[in-house]
Structure 1
Amino acid sequence: MITTRLDLARIRAARSDIDPIFLNTPLYQCDALGRELGCTVSIKLETANPVRSFKARGTELVANLLAGQGRTAAVCASAGNLGQALGWSGRRRGLDVTVVASRAAPAVKLDRIRALGAELELVDGDFEAARERAADISLQRGIRLVQDSLDIETCEGAATIGLELADAGSSFDTVLIALGGGAIATGVGYALKTLSPDVEVICVQPLGAPAMTHSWRRRRVVTTDSTDTIADGVAGRFPIPEVLDDLLAVADDAVLVQESSIVAGLRLLLEQAGLVVEPSAALGVAAVLEDRDRFAGRHVATIICGSNVDLDAYHRWIRT
């Protein structure tokens, strides 16, 4: 029996609290991509929704909980996608949402946070600086601090993706999951290991933002002084101990990939699948590119977790 903070009954019940627009996202075999990678590849497309990422599965649960408690406001730190998702979910339930983000976050993500009606505060520094400021605002205003990956709702919301993968009945050998703070990795990993225990769960992180992978490998929290990756959505430096404990229980492996492989993955997803995605969403493809022999002849599923990408930067990457 797998022991984590997550609960299968709650995850199944969560589906009734999540707007159906975020559920049952497309899952299909992409033969063109598979031919390029030398394995069978299925894509789970988590970008076909109003916020273009999986994050709203979790914020739907958070916002429902807060509204049920009579709360009227919430604050979060975000690299961009969580802020959009909380803004969307909060607005529908009458919550005042404040998002703290780094000034260096992609402008397209910041613009969409504002468009969703959230108050946006920008800080110098990276995501960790934003997390500190969000905590300060929570204390000053007496409002709920929504913490991605630490708040179990964010993990169990993401875990509904795992339910859908397990329910599909496909013969996946491996599922490749982007690893950042850990919500999607622990959520999907838990659902799969509970319902389809033979499926290999591999988490993928950029070499330039390796804190959670190093922590998984050493079985203790390992922090880094900085990050250097185009995959801004997974560029954290301080793993959360409780999340690491969950990850240790559900992940079969955690691998690091180079920036050049992430860019190559972006290009392949455009050319072979017709998908414009953000770098975090290309991590699974990057992992196969760096270790083709490991995946040769296998059936691999990769979760396309977000497509909120700055188009100017995207054009530079794919033309490299």
Structure 2
Amino acid sequence: MQSVATATQLELSPMPLAQQYLQKILLSSVYDVAKVTPLSSMKKLSTRFGCDVYLKREDMQPVHSFKLRGAYNRIAQLTAEQAACGVVCASAGNHAQGVAMSAASIGINAVIVMPTTTPDIKIDAVKRLGGTVVLHGQAFDQANDYAKALSETEGRVYIAPFDDEAVIAGQGTVAQEMLQQQRDIDVVFVPVGGGGLIAGIAAYYKAVMPRVKIIGVEPEDAACLKAAMDAGEPVTLSQVGLFADGVAVKRIGEEPFRVAKDYVDDVITVTSDEICAAVKDIFEDTRAIAEPAGALSTAGMKKYLQHLVNEADKPLKVASILSGANVNFHSLRYVSERCELGEQKEAVLAVKVPEKPGSFLRFCELLDKRAMTEFNYRFSSRDMAVVFAGIRLSGGQAELTDIIAKLTLEGFDVQDLSNDETAKLHVRYMVGGHPPEPLEERLFSFEFPEHPGALLKFLTTLQSKWNISLFHYRNHGAAYGRVLAGFEVPASDDLAFARFLTDLGFVYQEETQSLAYQLFLNSKSK
């Protein structure tokens, strides 16, 4: 006969971890400083993937990040004696601003230790909020060790960025709002650094609506949760990438992992290019500019949806968290450069082309009027030229495969560099140098109208009369592309070459006397 538990036994039974956190989340006092943020529909991504896509706008918090929630919930629970000693924390930026604002709102002194790599926008924001900034170490872990040392020597209360129950509970209020705003979400994608946010969100959803899938998203070069899941315990990564600095953490928190291992359904990793593409997607749908870590979960959501086979009768409803918007403005140059690669809308190729008039024209003709995004070349021998070329794609990898096959069939030696980080970061800007022999060379800058066929028109007008000895072109989406081109022009051809420039109809200027050209590119300067 099966025994029946008594009321006393039920009271003594341990409460499931998710239920414990549910209580803490419901009792959090985050709304003394934080605000309820919108759950916005992303119409363009919804149309693209054939499902309902939502974005939780934590960039709209007073400090432009969700971190304010956990920081305030922890600081609000300090005793009067602890508050009098002040607080200290370590952060790449967003937790720092949350601690600074929370401490100032209660009248507590706060010291914030930040890595020396932290963007200026985050350092300045912390100072404006009243925090005292100390820069230490190259990454979060070094800053964190120093903050803990300050806690010991100065008696300050250490406010953990993620490995703390009160912080996790504060972050969990994000899920509480999401459930109230949209009750039938199927999958939630959460960015992962130290794990505080995903622990709070996972615990809340699994306590209230366990059918909802919780998927963590990490950069490929900072995947501490994935490493911990694979090992069954937190492990320390040897190094982490700093592009998404807000999640550049080497080791998942002990408490976040205790929650995540039971309640997180999966972990996805994404590349820097995929993060850049997500920054662009968020901007196009909302006009918000996410920091790389802020766009992380959207990048993972896109990757998930691209490979998803939806067998349900109704469209899937998914949501990602725009966790922060404290972006260093200058990093947008990198984002702009890489977002098209991240969506497979651009490919970069190294192509060997016979060094003879007409070869470049034939190469462009084989591209069948596809837009060129980049074209780098410098004369290096009389036999063979190696071109670094960027090509606009509309059909992704399948289209790229067809292009490579077509060029190869015509005798061009083609290498796909789209996933070669060295090529994308460095080599594309280093194609050039001095030619191996003196040339009768003239250098010109041009403004190319940004429309398909502009480069083909240039080469067709040239009609293979003069050898192109140098070429650099990069499309940045403006009305005109900037081009630098060198030509082998004998003095006897000066008048004919002038007619070519006139017939071309592009704005141009001769740059042969440029000091930079004379120093770095001219054969006579060797």
Q: TM-score range by the shorter chain?
A: over 0.9
Secondary structure of 1:303's partner?
Answer: strand
Residue 307 of structure 2: aligned partner: 293
Secondary structure of 1:205's partner?
Answer: strand
Residue 91 of structure 1: aligned partner: 104
Please state if 1:79 is matched with 2:97. no
* Distance in 2 separating the partners of 1:230 and 1:139: 31
Residue 265 of structure 1: aligned partner: 278
Q: Could you tell me the TM-score, scaled by structure 1's length?
A: 0.94
Please state if 1:227 is matched with 2:245. no
Please state if 1:59 is matched with 2:68. no
8 Å CA contact 1:166–1:195 kept in 2: the answer is: no
8 Å CA contact 1:83–1:113 kept in 2: the answer is: yes
Q: Could you tell me the TM-score, scaled by structure 2's length?
A: 0.58
Q: Deviations over 1:61-98 (max 9, x none)?
A: 12211255552200001010001010001001111000
Please state if 1:141 is matched with 2:188. no
Q: Percent identity?
A: 26
* Distance in 1 separating the partners of 2:309 and 2:292: 21
**Structure with greater contact order relative to length (CA < 8 Å, sep ≥ 6):** 1
Letter paired with 2:44: A
Residue 6 of structure 2: aligned partner: none
Q: What is the correspondence of 1:4-83 to structure 2 with a 5 Å cutoff?
A: 6-14=20-28, 17-19=29-31, 22-66=34-78, 68-69=80-81, 71-72=83-84, 73-83=86-96
* Distance in 1 separating the partners of 2:261 and 2:105: 36
Aligned length: 318
What's the offset of the Cα at 1:225?
1.1
* Distance in 1 separating the partners of 2:233 and 2:33: 38
Residue 323 of structure 2: aligned partner: 305
Q: Deviations over 1:37-84 (max 9, x none)?
A: 443201111111210001111111122112555522000010100010
8 Å CA contact 2:168–2:256 kept in 1: the answer is: no
In structure 2, stretches of 5+ residues that fail to align are 1-14, 339-526
Larger radius of gyration: 2
* Distance in 2 separating the partners of 1:30 and 1:105: 30
What's the offset of the Cα at 1:313?
0.5
When residues 295 and 50 of structure 1 are mapped into structure 2, their CA distance, relative to the original with a 3 A threshold, is farther
What's the offset of the Cα at 1:252?
0.5
Q: Deviations over 1:152-209 (max 9, x none)?
A: 1110001111111222343211000001101100001110111111110000000010
Greater CA deviation, 96-105 or 1-10?
1-10
When residues 295 and 126 of structure 1 are mapped into structure 2, their CA distance, relative to the original with a 3 A threshold, is farther
Give the RMSD, CA atoms, in angstroms: 1.8
In structure 1, stretches of 5+ residues that fail to align are none
Q: 1:198 aligns with which of 205, 208, 211?
A: 211
Letter paired with 2:209: S
